[in-house]
């Protein structure tokens, strides 16, 4: 998966949100695949340190298992979004099964924001969800879940691809733990040094 989908290709996906206002020097931090007690609280502490709010696209079954961690996200003023109940791949199931899984997650995640796991969603699945959800993609994927990548190489890509209105994806998952906890503070300090502010979706 690429760090950034080319701008020229994005319109072919239809009405999806990839990036916010390009005229404003604002970064939008998002976190996928949590909440989990091993990582999410530490991510929240980092954000608190810099007084930044983000958006957490949560897996419904994780919210079911760790409601107290989910409650911390909300209590600290962050937004949440739906990331399906079981982190399913849109290309591997029917539109009906996909919608059912998303609605199952909705029972645990009170949000009108949705992000498809792996960025994979079919046109039919998209049509089914659009009346109820704003579908959020990304402008910059950090690849923090890739354990073969070093924190230094991830930060280098972040510095290269950040731009006005970027929606940035990190992961508050066990798989991404080492990278996200190392990279997130350094990335925030970089954005601050470059004059960026932080918005919330």
Domain enclosing residue 100, as ranges? 15-199
pTM of the model: 0.94
Q: Kindly state whether residue 3 falls inside one of the protein's structural domains.
A: no
Domain count across the chain: 1
Reduce the DSSP state of residue 189 to 3 states and report it. helix
Q: Considering 21, 32, 33, 45, which one is annotated as catalytic?
A: 32
The separation between the first and the last C-alpha atoms of the chain, rounded to the nearest angstrom, is 23
139-191: pLDDT as tens digits: 999 999 999 999 999 999 999 999 999 999 999 999 999 999 999 999 999 99
Active site includes 32?
yes
Active site includes 171?
yes
12-69: pLDDT as tens digits: 567 899 999 999 999 999 999 999 999 999 999 999 999 999 999 999 999 999 999 9
Which CATH number fits the domain that encloses residue 55?
Answer: 3.20.20.370
Q: Give the relative orientation of helices 40-49 and 67-75 as an angle to the nearest 10 degrees.
A: 10
What angle is formed at CA 192 by the lines to CA 30 and CA 22, rounded to 5 degrees?
A: 60
């Amino acid at each position: 998966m690429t760090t950034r989908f080319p701008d020229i290709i994005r319109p072919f996906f239809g009405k999806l949100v990839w990036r916010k206002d390009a005229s404003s020097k604002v970064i939008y931090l998002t976190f996928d695949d949590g909440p989990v007690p091993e990582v999410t609280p530490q991510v929240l502490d980092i954000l608190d340190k810099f007084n930044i709010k983000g958006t957490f696209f949560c897996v419904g079954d994780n919210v079911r298992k760790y409601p107290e961690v989910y409650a911390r996200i909300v209590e600290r003023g962050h937004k949440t979004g739906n990331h399906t109940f079981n982190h399913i791949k849109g290309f591997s199931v029917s539109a009906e099964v996909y919608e059912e899984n998303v609605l199952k997650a909705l029972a645990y995640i009170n949000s009108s924001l949705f992000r498809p796991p792996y960025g994979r969603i079919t046109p039919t699945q998209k049509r089914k969800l659009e009346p109820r959800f704003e579908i959020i993609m990304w402008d910059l994927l950090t690849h923090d879940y890739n354990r073969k990548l070093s924190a230094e190489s991830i930060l280098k890509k972040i510095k290269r691809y950040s731009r006005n209105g970027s929606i940035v994806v990190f992961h508050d998952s066990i798989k991404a733990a080492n990278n996200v906890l190392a990279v997130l503070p350094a990335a925030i300090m970089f954005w601050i040094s470059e004059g960026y502010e932080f918005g919330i979706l």
